[in-house]
A and B are shown apart, each in its own frame.
Chain A
């Protein structure tokens, strides 16, 4: 058994931010990442971020990842990083097991931060297993990381920020976006992204979803259907759209498995994307010295994930007797930043979700 001070599971925006703060606090840190590259979803985000300077507004996601990784370089003697490593299990006695290739490893940590992020939600419609039906994340990976076109004519399902931004990126790559479908009665993402698409001639169809796909070896066409205010299909409202790719962007759900299996108290909250851990103001779960931050605690943006990561890093270090030199200032600052990020009409969902979870802002 390898004994460690702090193990962080997940090297995305939340995990990297937590690592930096914990290292600054004087802890030794072990960071475990399933993918080959650190940075999580940031590595495929070619667009510039919104928000405030402290969360790298106006910087491209891919460059934010580079900054967060570079921030850790000064601490290389106290930081060990395992990439291509999947954490297999977490147990109530703070034992973690993981696999890297064929190398099985076992650790025991004094404190753990779970920053595993989220995965894409899937949609139930006829022939939803035909090749050419992608998640928005897969399209971003193909296009933005590997330079591979997913198709030439795409229909996007979902008008949240991811759906809107990926639609725009598809257009930038020379792909025709035939339509954006949205099941609810309003566009989910920022209107500034939506207007850009509308100006480029992309119809955004609200109260509409995908009903079935056609094709044998590859998708050729879809039928859409309109939905009434009770989310029931409107008879006779079906329309066909030819396409060679369909992109599903209907939200994310937290990668909760490690927390659930170890016995942390979990709660299912629609607004937060699904099953999330109960946590206190210190970002600690119901398991002592197991902290959680980022999308695994509720789906938000990368900006909030970074801020939550800082908080979890601060609190995890503090719980082991390592107080960050600017503990009080940073704590107040990060709490204030989170409040800012969640205010306004775009933060309603997350505010409602946190309230249900019993966490006031």
Chain B
């Protein structure tokens, strides 16, 4: 099968083949792989890919999915124009 044609993170267009390469190279946490492939850094902030990646890491390490550390979630949940924050009126 062609892992190049399997999209894992659709925000950043990351394929299963790229994810596997990272795992083979020794990067086996979401946080490490995020810094290389930008997984979880798009508009959905990992809501769509996190489960799939969790499962792939677990499979690769032969560990239960629930034991794989999840990624760090930070503000904000959605894109905002900086001008809107700067010009926000306070009550």
Which residue numbers of A lie inside 8 Å of B, CB to CB? 1-2, 86-89, 91, 97, 99, 102-106, 119, 121-129, 211-212, 253, 255-258, 260-261, 266, 268-270, 274-275
Contact = CB atoms under 8 A, between A and B. Distances in A.
B68 to A, nearest CB: 8
B5 A89 contact: no
Contacts of A86: 77-78
B47 A258 contact: no
A124 B8 contact: yes
A122 B10 contact: yes
Given A97-B76, A124-B8, A126-B5, A1 B70 contact: no
Interface residues of B, number: 35
A122 B76 contact: no
A256 B44 CA distance: 12
A261 B6 contact: no
Contact of A269 (B6, B52, B66, B80): B66
A99 B90 contact: no
A118 to B, nearest CB: 9
Interface string B60-91: 00000110101001111110110011011011
Contacts of B65: 268, 270
B22 interface: no
9 tightest A-B CB contacts, nearest first: A89-B75, A260-B73, A104-B88, A88-B76, A104-B84, A126-B5, A261-B73, A2-B91, A129-B7
B52 A122 contact: yes
B10 to A, nearest CB: 6
A233 to B, nearest CB: 9
A91 B77 CA distance: 12
A266 B69 CA distance: 11
Contacts of A261: 73-75
B78 A88 contact: yes
**Residue from B10, B75, B81 having most chain A Cβ neighbours under 10 A:** B75
B84 A119 contact: no
B16 interface: yes
B6 to A, nearest CB: 5
Contacts of B29: none
Contacts of B80: 88, 99, 104
Nearest to B90: A1
A97 B6 CA distance: 36
Contacts of B91: 1-2
A99 to B, nearest CB: 6
Nearest to A119: B47
A275 B2 CA distance: 30
Given A122-B49, A212-B5, A268-B65, 10 more contacts: A1-B91, A102-B81, A104-B85, A122-B48, A124-B52, A126-B6, A129-B10, A256-B73, A260-B73, A275-B50
A222 to B, nearest CB: 13
Contacts of B8: 124
Contact of A119 (B5, B7, B48, B81): B48
Contacts of A258: 77
A257 B16 CA distance: 24
B84 A257 contact: no
A127 B76 contact: no
22 contacts: A2-B90, A2-B91, A86-B78, A88-B75, A88-B76, A89-B75, A89-B76, A97-B75, A99-B78, A102-B81, A104-B84, A104-B87, A106-B90, A119-B48, A124-B52, A127-B6, A128-B7, A257-B45, A257-B77, A260-B73, A261-B74, A268-B65
